[in-house]
Amino acid sequence: MQTCGAPSTLIAGDAKKSFMPNLSPEFLALGFIWYVVFLFSTTCHEAAHALVAKIGGDETASLGGQVTLNPVPHIQREPWGMVVIPILMLVINQSIIGWASAPYDPHWERRHPRRAAWMALAGPAANYTLMLIAAIGLRVGWHQGWLHRGSFAESLIGAMFSLNLLLGTFNLLPVTPLDGSTAIMLVMGETRAQRYLDWLRGNSYGILGLVVAVFAFRYVYGPIEAFATEVLLRSHF
């Protein structure tokens, strides 16, 4: 049994960092919003992995109760990544960092590499879907006058947009252990995919891959975020 996870580094808005954060009501409200959005988005991400794996013939995650939008089974699997570390980082560093995972059968992956690739893509796809829903909510809310600048509702939907754009994009980076490292098998033939899996699962470069991903992400995410914000939130259509 292996896991298909969502390791994520998430920066909560424009909060100013300090060694001893100012736990003002505004900060606590913002932190609560970002944590709730993180929890919901990560749950959707992992549930999507589990559902597509089940459709593809691997019920490992389904039998573990992870084909659900109830965050409890996901928290039970990764309590540190979904509760302890995110909350600690919010309080200490005014940022939110966390992770989650869904188990899958590695033998199923080797028999069906393309199905495994679709399973990997399902998580980021769920995040991008939530991002688009949030973008629609913001556009309609602003246009109809339902959302007021700085309101709780606008902050919640805005966090949903930003966090899911970040989660989906980060996890698509083609480095282990992120989803993109498995998803690229969609463009490979059967034989090449098998050789690729031999290499991918036969090394222990997970930590190195995350370091590379975090470093590279700093350079690629800015233009992506600017483009998505301009097209989805600011353009006239």
pLDDT band at 17 (very low <50, low <70, confident <90, very high): very low
The residue among 222 and 209 whose pLDDT is bigger is 222
Q: Could you tell me which residues come within 8 angstroms of residue 163 by beta carbon, excluding any fewer than 6 positions away?
A: 10, 34, 37, 38, 41
Tell me the pLDDT tens digit for each residue of 61-77.
999 999 999 999 999 99
pLDDT tens per residue across span 124-170: 999 999 999 999 999 999 999 999 888 899 999 999 999 999 999 99
Instruction: Name the token pair of 120.
Output: 């990997």
Beta strands in the chain (DSSP E): 2-5, 8-10, 96-98, 101-104
Distance CA 119, CA 114 (A): 9
Beta-carbon contacts of residue 78 (< 8 Å; ≥ 6 apart): 99, 100, 101
**What pTM does this model have?**
0.88
Q: Are 141 and 153 in contact (CB under 8 A)?
A: yes
Query: Higher pLDDT residue, 129 or 25?
Result: 129
90-99, 125-134, 222-231: the lowest-pLDDT one: 90-99
